[in-house]
Structure 1
Amino acid sequence: MAGVLRAALGQLVVAFLLLSTCAGGRQQQQHRQQQQQQPHRQQQKQQQQQHRQQQQQQQQQPRVELHVHLDGAVTPELLFQIAGQRRLLLPGLGGRVPVRVEEVSELLKRTPPWQRFDLVNEVIGGSSEVAALVAERFVDFQADNGVFYTEVRYDPVRLARSGLANSSISQLEVVQAVQRGLVAGMQRHGGMQVHQLLCAMRGQPATACLALAQLAAATRSPEHGGVVGLDLAGDERDFPNGAYVK
């Protein structure tokens, strides 16, 4: 019996030694793998750090934006604020004033892309005060994003009226209000330049586009916030440039 116990004990010792050897081998292998991976990890960290530094440098660089729509840059938060102040009954909300900014965000998402411009202009149109506010907030947004020179475009015909608010102003009043807002924003953010481009809309009669071109010429100004050009906006496929060349 004692011999059997000694034999079993010997087998246990051998098994323990084998397990210890295997465990030690695995630890050594893991250690070697970690040593091999360490340079790769350091390289990855260096690359990530360089990428972050490049992003920071790019964000600090002054930017230029030559194609941005004023009515396409109005945030849901500002639309909610304006709709509430004007007590606008939005059709997409069952004909009531929005009570949460999320309602405005969802309404914009449900609205087809091109029709969003119509919705936005119905909320912000027909008011000099609102046009100036929208322009001023636009400058804030550009400043936050490091854009020091901007030419912002919009259709003063569309911005001059709002069926929801049952309100309208002249196109000249729109241009003047937008300039006031842009200047007010630039006064808070030194070193910025923001100018206007007036949009003639494809699909409108050539006479209407000519009238807008005349407005752009009459209000043209190199001053901050002034009109510096004219844009022909809309569906180029169905309304080619040739229809508007004289």
Structure 2
Amino acid sequence: MNRKDVAKRFPVKVELHVHLDGAVRTQTILDIGQKRGIKLPASTVDGLNKEIVISYGASLDTLLASFHIFAPVFAGDRDAVYTMAYEFCEDCARQGIVYAEVRYSPHLLANTFDKPAYARESGSFSPRDVVCTVNEALEKGSRDFNITVKSILACIRSSSEWSKEVASLCKEFRNSGVVGIDIAMSEFLSDQHPDECPHRQAFLTAKNDGIHRTTHAGEVGEPANVYEALDDYYAERIGHGYRSILDAKLYERIKREGIHFETCPISSLKTAGASSRTDHPILRFATDGANFSINTDDPTVLGNDLTDDYLMALEFGLTEKQIQTSIFNAAWSSFASDKEKQEIIKKLVEVYGEN
């Protein structure tokens, strides 16, 4: 089956794990870079893609390093962040995605720090301003392209000083499109007691405030990272989670509790989350009836879209029915309201029938 066939077989999609700053159009990076006078290593789409799209068998660190090439183009700039979020909605609609949850770190896109993470210089574009801007763009984009796009605010593991504010922003904007909290970047276990760890405190606050929780865990780290996600971060969904199968007790618990795996086939092979297409954890999830979905992760850096990931899943050995099930799983495991979930499911049933 080729890309065209896959697109026809799965015309309606749901996506739960995709990073906003990892889904910006390459042409948009070039356009904004030129407008802002920011020099990039190439001046064409093909040329820049050669610099930022990683190869199979690379690593998570390689993927993260690519962001330092292009993220300064839009970080700290309100118009650029708005454009990125608005175009994300259009790109989803073109792929047949009817509902998406896009995640990002407000702090990485802000510039109100002495040494901004990505922005070239300090300024007045705060994390709260970033959230307001993204919410505005996603609301208009959802309306203009007849889809629904919500957002998830991400804590950054190496910057625990931001996490309290992330939880606060989740609460403040819960009725304006923000549906959950996440923690991302390189995996490592906290060496602090749960009562003293800012990340864990932020997730406890989110839980008490009724904010949904997802965490990056078990992508390249050990099963211990997944235990931490469940026990200390109260995770309802796990971003990636492939290493869960290395611990039988953990894996059985996840299946029993219906914890959702946000899997990303192409990303897993490019970041060393998995080493083989023939014995991939996603095939195990599908065969065992685990709750999982299929997602893109970072299209800008991976050179993919959701159709590509469905095609890769078929290469792993998944059946068309299992991919259909993953789409329904995504709808049911989304952080949408009950009413919104019913509307999404209705659209899926119209195309695929009852699952």
Interval of TM-score (by shorter of Structure 1 and Structure 2): 0.5 to 0.7
Matched, 1:145 2:145: no
Matched, 1:101 2:101: no
How far apart in 1 are the matches of 2:21 and 2:132? 16
Give the 3 Å change call, closer, same or farther, for CA 112–214 of structure 1 in structure 2: same
Is residue 110–residue 126 contact of structure 2 (8 Å, CA) maintained in 1? yes
* Map of 2:173 onto structure 1: 219
Equivalent residue pairs, number:
185
Is residue 69–residue 153 contact of structure 1 (8 Å, CA) maintained in 2? yes
Aligned with 2:39: secondary structure?
A: coil
Matched, 1:86 2:36: yes
- TM-score (ref. length: structure 2): 0.47
Give the 3 Å change call, closer, same or farther, for CA 56–218 of structure 1 in structure 2: closer
Give the 3 Å change call, closer, same or farther, for CA 240–140 of structure 1 in structure 2: farther
Instruction: Say which structure is richer in helix.
Output: 1
How far apart in 2 are the matches of 1:151 and 1:240? 31
How far apart in 1 are the matches of 2:83 and 2:4? 35
Q: Note the residue ranges of structure 2 that are not aligned, 5 or more in a row.
A: 55-60, 112-117, 202-355
* Map of 1:186 onto structure 2: 142
How far apart in 1 are the matches of 2:153 and 2:105? 6
How far apart in 2 are the matches of 1:159 and 1:79? 14
Match of 2:63 among 101, 113, 116: 113
Matched, 1:202 2:157: yes
- TM-score (ref. length: structure 1): 0.66
> 2:139 is aligned with what amino acid?
V
> 1:175 is aligned with what amino acid?
V
Shift >4 Å, 4+ stretches: 51-54, 165-168, 238-243
After superposition, what is the alpha-carbon deviation per residue over 1:17-63, rounded to whole angstroms, capped at 9, x for unaligned? xxxxxxxxxxxxxxxxxxxxxxxxxxxxxxx8xx9997455332x21
After superposition, what is the alpha-carbon deviation per residue over 1:102-147, rounded to whole angstroms, capped at 9, x for unaligned? 3322221479311123333211111111111000110111111111
How far apart in 2 are the matches of 1:150 and 1:227? 12
Give the 3 Å change call, closer, same or farther, for CA 57–158 of structure 1 in structure 2: same
Is residue 196–residue 229 contact of structure 1 (8 Å, CA) maintained in 2? yes
How far apart in 1 are the matches of 2:169 and 2:98? 26
Where relative contact order (Cα < 8 A, 6+ residues apart) is larger, the structure is 2
How far apart in 1 are the matches of 2:186 and 2:150? 24
How far apart in 2 are the matches of 1:187 and 1:88? 32
Alpha-carbon distance, 1:166 to partner? 5.7
C-alpha RMSD of matched pairs (Å)? 2.8
Matched, 1:173 2:123: no
